[in-house]
Structure 1
């Protein structure tokens, strides 16, 4: 009986401990919020007072739909401060407690100014793992003479810096700053804020992950015919590892027909020059197009994009490389003569066809004789012949008379002598 009593006491103590642990603890105290850098939010709080000694405090914090349960009395997040950001915190006596305290909420203050004055389409692209290019459009209600300013921050920096290299691309306004790969990691976040020097527009924030990468265009180093194939070789952009880029080759002949090659990731070892020796060569790629005609002019260009094995594939292709051509360009004289001879040939053919059709019509449909016309022509011919002979007799008679008179004159002169 005594053992049973001890067992009951122990069971009651455990039950009491469990009940105490599952009781509602008080809410946290001294809840505060602060913003550091540009978009780093610090939430801090103190443990609740009057908590049972058997309660091991955990803190359940909600940021939107993102839930974190931790023993820490703070939470740090990088969030774009374009709107009101709120964090709710509850204290509880276990990780999976179903009896947490009441929630305590702390929110940021939204940026001041008209929302329609803030810049739009703010985005940043990491160009060739060397510099960050950020662009935006002016807000609808922003003054036309607004002098924009961009600030940026990432973890190696002690404080935010101001961008100084501004430019325009059509309607877009942009600014670029150096961001070398050796100074940042692939998981780094870049905090961006765009405002104006006069404070007349609403600031705009952005958190940029280093996964939007746009490489520089490749450089074609070799273009040649090998047997019945077209061989293309190019150098990869700098700063990228060999397996972090994919390529696209565009081959155009003069027919014209457009040929797009498949993405090529194989290294080339076909051309061997002093520059290709180990230790001196850059990462080179190649593409071979079969069944080509050496008497045709081919124009080639290459572009690249980041591979999904190294970065998030956002289909950000580089610019096309400068074009290079190989083959024989057709003689323009031949095409000129051909173009000029076609209208002439058509004209002659048309004329001959008309003459042939007219002759064919006469043969197939001969004209019907007109008896009246025949008799008329017969009599007309006789009259014409009679007149002709009459004119001839009169003319001959005149010539004879004139000749005779001349003879008489000559005879008279001789007689007088």
Structure 2
């Protein structure tokens, strides 16, 4: 447009412009120069100026005394006045030191609670997130704020207890046992503490199992609503001669249930070929829908093992001879009620021969 304007105002070698036209031409040249400078330095408009936000303040990992259930907490970043209308979020990452992948959480809160294995250190980092609607269409993140946490490591590693084993018998009675660590003095003894959500504070075992006067296990009291929650245990020790390293454990009780075996079995042989096996649902408070069974069946020299979710099954004999038939079964909590479980003991064997049956132990 400007070149067209100038072309129309040139007579020979003389350019005829008035004062207003000259001002317009100068303004055009100035804008063109500024545009070229912006291109050279990567700016195209004032709306694309870089937006920054500070990381959260006072980021820390707090131990409330729950044996591994920790608080990760922080304060909002400073200088948020320009983003008061924005829903500021935080991206939190944490893991056990040397534990591989980070766990990531996006939250608007100023605290996050999580259970950690205190046998290892914990590292965490967090930054502030500004949503796209507050930053012209691109998410803005602050620098990271970082924190770490370690339990004080007192005593040599070999002084920790060994072979910790916890079983929730028949989904009612919890018992834990362990072996003493190596190299501990004769005056050393171990003590168990536990906590799960619902308790005000960690509790100490009140019924220790003893061997040679030393604590080697704990019988827990009747627990109130502990299922499907993380159960935290610490076993520490004391000795006048040397420090003892503490051990920490996290598990869920429904995953360590050991039920009773069925206590009634029957064999019903039809037409000498079809065999119906039945057994009672194990005694106790475990719902019938929560069981899986393993059946061991023998017919003469043939033996096999199978599993079923029902408390009966029908099989076909390999022959109609007079071979003795025997079976026993055991139970476990199934995948619909727990992630894992412990097989019960085997039931007493039930046998059949001819038209007579017998129990054998």
Could you state the TM-score of these two structures normalised by the residue count of structure 1? 0.59
Q: Displacement, 1:92?
A: 3.7
Q: CA deviation at 1:289?
A: 4.1
Higher helix share: 1
Q: Distance in 1 between matches of 2:152 and 2:121?
A: 5
SS in 2 for 1:247: strand
Aligned residue number for residue 52 of structure 2: 23
Distance 1:144 1:319, change over 3 A: farther
Aligned equivalent of 2:70 = 41
How far apart, in 1, do the equivalents of 2:278 and 2:322 lie? 21
The residue correspondences of 1:53-132 to structure 2 (distance < 5 A) are 53-54=82-83, 56=86, 57-64=88-95, 65-94=102-131, 97-132=139-174
For residues 131 and 55 of structure 2, what CA distance do their matches in structure 1 show?
A: 14
Q: Which residue in the other structure is 1:260 paired with? A: 304
Coordinate RMSD, CA, aligned: 3.4
Computing the radius of gyration from Cα coordinates, the structure with the larger value is: 1
Displacement, 1:27? 4.4
Residues 286 and 31 of structure 1: CA distance in aligned 2, closer, same or farther (over 3 Å): closer
Retained in 1: the 8 A contact 2:71–2:111? Answer: yes
Deviations 1:69-120 (A, max 9, x none): 2221122111121122232232343487444134232424334222221123
2:264 matches 1:233 = no
Do 1:37 and 1:160's aligned partners in 2 also have CA atoms closer than 8 Å? yes
Q: Could you tell me whether the CA contact under 8 Å between 2:118 and 2:248 is conserved in 1?
A: yes
Residue 192 of structure 1: how far off its partner (Å): 0.8
Q: Specify whether residues 212 and 53 from structure 1 end up closer, same or farther in structure 2 by C-alpha distance, changes over 3 A only.
A: same
2: distance between equivalents of 1:158 and 1:321? 41
1:192 aligned to 2:251?
A: no
How many Å separate the matches in 1 of 2:61 and 2:316? Answer: 69
Contact 1:28 1:90 in 2 (8 A): no
Tell me by how many angstroms 1:18 deviates.
Answer: 7.1
**3-state SS, counterpart of residue 36 of structure 1:** coil
- 1:205 aligns with 248
Residues 294, 165 of structure 1: CA spacing in aligned structure 2 closer, same or farther, 3 A cutoff?
farther
Could you tell me whether the CA contact under 8 Å between 1:33 and 1:108 is conserved in 2? no
**How far apart in 2 are the matches of 1:168 and 1:286?**
42
Equivalent residues, number: 289
How much has 1:62 moved relative to structure 2?
1.8
Aligned to 2:181: 139
**Uncovered stretches (5+) of structure 1, i.e. residues with no partner:** 1-14, 267-284, 329-417
The TM-score, its normalising length taken from structure 2, stands at 0.67
Q: What is the distance in 2 between the residues matched to 1:323 and 1:143?
A: 48
Cα deviation, 1:192-246, whole Å, max 9, x if unaligned, reads 1111254831111111024333322111243454441444322122323333222
Matches within 5 A, 1:345-364: none
* Higher strand content, 1 or 2: 2
